[in-house]
Amino acid sequence: MRIDRLPVPTPTTAPTGTTNAYVADDVLVDPAARSDALDSAAADASHVAVTHTHPDHVGALAAYAGSRTVWALSGHEDRLREATGIEPDRRFSEGDSIAGLTVLETPGHAPDHVAFAAGDAVLCGDLAMAESSVFVGGEGADMGAYLDSLRRLRERDLDLLFPGHGEPIEAPAERLDWLIDHRLGRERRVLRAVEAGDRTVEGIRDAAYEKDLSGVEALASATVRAHLEKLAEEGRIGWNGERARPV
Q: What is the pLDDT along the chain (247 residues), one digit of tens a residue?
A: 999 999 999 988 888 889 999 999 999 999 999 999 999 999 999 999 999 999 999 999 999 999 999 999 999 999 999 999 999 999 999 999 999 999 999 999 999 999 999 999 999 999 999 988 999 998 999 999 999 999 999 999 899 999 999 999 999 999 999 999 999 999 999 999 999 999 999 999 999 997 888 888 999 999 999 999 999 999 999 999 999 999 9
Residues in Cβ contact with 185 at an 8 Å cutoff, skipping those fewer than 6 apart: none
Give one word for 206, left, alpha or beta, with left for phi > 0 and alpha for psi -120 to 50: alpha
Q: 110: which DSSP letter?
A: S
Phi then psi for 4, rounded to 5 degrees?
Answer: -105, 130
Which uninterrupted H or E stretch holds 244?
strand 244-246
d(CA 118, CA 99): 10
Phi-psi region of 235 (alpha: psi -120 to 50; beta: other; left: phi over 0): left
